[in-house]
Structure 1
Amino acid sequence: MDLVDELDTLAPKGCAVALHIRFASPLYKFSTYPEAWQTIYDENAYGLRDPLVFWGVGVLGSARWSEIAMPDPFDILGKAKGHGLIYGAVGSFGKITSRSLMGIARDDRECSDSEIAEAMRILQRMHELAAPPQELTPAMLSALILMGQGYRHTAAAAELGISESALKARLSSARTRLDARTTAEAVRKAREYGFLS
């Protein structure tokens, strides 16, 4: 059983996870909440207004939804109840610069302390497994930028004033650090991680 399945077993009405939120956008996210609720949530940009998200961004740890006293002017939690998300818990893990959040929902009862603790263990493991590299060197970044702009190796090396073999070494190091098989994949991952604009 993978971690998503483990988390989902704790949440009869579904779960949602956003991993490594950086620059207001998660690196990875998924939800098993009812599809109708996911559609409403996304169409109304509730992620920008959700009191549970605000709580998770500002506080580390976990809490039952019923324990969180934050304004909900759009009645997001009330609307969620109409889709069976009546009880639940939220968890937050990681540094503010790369925070991960999760929610689990039930329709029958409050989440138990042990269920919340297990959900937090799973969130922490997901956060660790999805961790982006800490940094790329300026040399790696300059090489990836040019490759992302469509330069060929010879032209990129000339633009940087280095040999083609030095350029290839930089790209190889970047691929290793980004766990990418190809330079194109390294450029894509560097963009996703926010290293390239």
Structure 2
Amino acid sequence: MSIHADINKCLAELGRLAPDGYFIGLHIRFAAPVMQFQTYPEAWSDHYTREAYALRDPTIAWGFSAEGASRWSEFTLPDPFNILGEARKFGLNYGLTVSCGPISSRTIASFTRRDREFTDDEIVAISHQIRRLHDITQPPESLTKAQIEALRCIAAGDRHAAAAAKLGISESALKARLLSARERLMARTTAETIQRAKEYRLL
């Protein structure tokens, strides 16, 4: 199974376990996640963004202060802006936050239901899926010399033919190097591959 198929399988199971929405930030580095997925109601997402709640969100604060899982009703952190109270106005009545990984590459995910608290068994199942997602999306420590050379040429503005000529390889060989780098960094395009490689300080 490919990484993308594995990710989609995990997300489908999490969607079943959290029918009223979730937010997953994988490998948060330099204040931004490497990958993120969210299915919260659009009205809540818009309100959350408009009010800049991410800077004050107790679920994120908890995720950076602890590893494991906690129902929102069990939080002891302050919520001076009543963000969880605001969430309930949008149907996010019961919540769960799961956190794992080192502080330098932390994964934080939150899940909601409108009908009831998450059960202990559901928390175990959700935590398992989040750990799985964290592990399979672990950013690589390095790229091959060939992948770096190909990406550097494209990042410098070379077209495929010019980059291939510069490296003394065929255009199809260049494309193969770009594709392997894209798969290694779990990117959808070459431009995204270059951006991620720079973010990971691999270029």
TM-score range, shorter chain: 0.7 to 0.9
Partner of 1:16: 23
Distance 1:9 1:154 in 2: 47
Counterparts of 1:136-147 in structure 2, within 5 Å, are 136=143, 141=148, 144-147=151-154
Amino acid at match of 1:16: F
Partner of 2:142: 135
Counterparts of 1:92-107 in structure 2, within 5 Å, are 92-107=99-114
- Cα shift readout 1:2-54 (whole Å, capped 9, x = no counterpart): 32221122223211111121111112212222211111112222122211011
3-state SS of paired residue (1:151) = coil
Change (3 A) 1:147 1:56: same
3-state SS of paired residue (1:42) = helix
3-state SS of paired residue (1:74) = coil
Distance 1:29 1:66 in 2: 24
Between 24-33 and 171-180, report the one with greater CA deviation. Answer: 171-180
Quote how far apart the aligned CAs of 1:89 are.
0.8
Partner of 1:188: 192
Partner of 2:85: 78
Answer whether contact 1:140 1:171 (CA < 8 A) is retained.
Answer: no
Amino acid at match of 1:100: T
Change (3 A) 1:77 1:136: same
Q: How many residues align?
A: 191
How well do the aligned residues superpose, as a CA RMSD in angstroms? 3.2
Distance 1:3 1:119 in 2: 9
Normalised to the residue count of structure 2, the TM-score between the two structures is 0.77
3-state SS of paired residue (1:179) = helix
Partner of 2:3: none
Change (3 A) 1:154 1:2: closer
Distance 1:134 1:64 in 2: 34
3-state SS of paired residue (1:124) = helix
3-state SS of paired residue (2:12) = helix
Answer whether contact 2:164 2:174 (CA < 8 A) is retained.
Answer: no
3-state SS of paired residue (2:44) = helix
Partner of 2:95: 88
* Equivalent in 51, 57, 69 of residue 50 of structure 1: 57
* Equivalent in 136, 151, 156 of residue 158 of structure 2: 151
* Equivalent in 179, 183, 186 of residue 179 of structure 1: 183
Quote how far apart the aligned CAs of 1:116 are.
0.6
Change (3 A) 1:79 1:38: same
Distance 2:40 2:56 in 1: 18
Distance 1:9 1:129 in 2: 20
Gaps of 5+ in 2: 1-7
Answer whether contact 1:136 1:174 (CA < 8 A) is retained.
Answer: no
Amino acid at match of 1:191: Q
Quote how far apart the aligned CAs of 1:142 are.
6.0
Normalised to the residue count of structure 1, the TM-score between the two structures is 0.79
